[in-house]
Amino acid sequence: MDHRNVSKIHVSVLCLAAALAGCSSSESDQVSVQSKMISSCSNSARMALEGWHLNQLPDAYVRQTLQSMQGNVERAASEIEALRDVDTTQREMLARSVTDIVNLLRQAQSQVAHGDHDTAQTTLHLKDAIEGLSLTSGVKRST
């Protein structure tokens, strides 16, 4: 699958998640939708980084994907922060999980910018952070 098809898949996933966000009625549903969005974007970034690690994806595509997914993660996190009826402890745990993910996405971007293809640890830590988010949000992983 070439990078254009992967990009189309990313856009489709984001559109579906945005449509689902508009349909949810409770703040609990919103947390679930936004957490799924964060997980999906993080997994997309992880897959792009893995492809780059294996020299299967071009630098520019991976840089753009990582930046775009980080922006989407940050927007979804802002949506969660804006919800007022979310338990404070849950909100703090989600914030910590998202901070871990954003920091790992920044690290990945730095590695790509410096041509450091030794990204196996970053990819593994990102996978762990995504799983941590799933546990924190109560949303089961779909991947």
From the first residue on, what is the mean pLDDT of each consecutive set of 10 residues in the chain (143 residues)?
Answer: 56 52 65 92 96 96 97 92 84 90 97 95 96 80 47
Task: Give me the pLDDT at residue 23, please.
Answer: 45
Task: Give me the pLDDT at residue 99, please.
Answer: 94
Spell out the alpha helix ranges (H) of the chain: 3-23, 27-53, 59-82, 88-113, 120-137
Task: Give me the pLDDT at residue 91, please.
Answer: 83
* Region for residue 2 given its phi and psi (left: phi exceeds 0; alpha: psi -120 to 50; beta: otherwise): beta
Task: Give me the pLDDT at residue 140, please.
Answer: 54
Q: Is the pTM of this model over 0.75?
A: yes
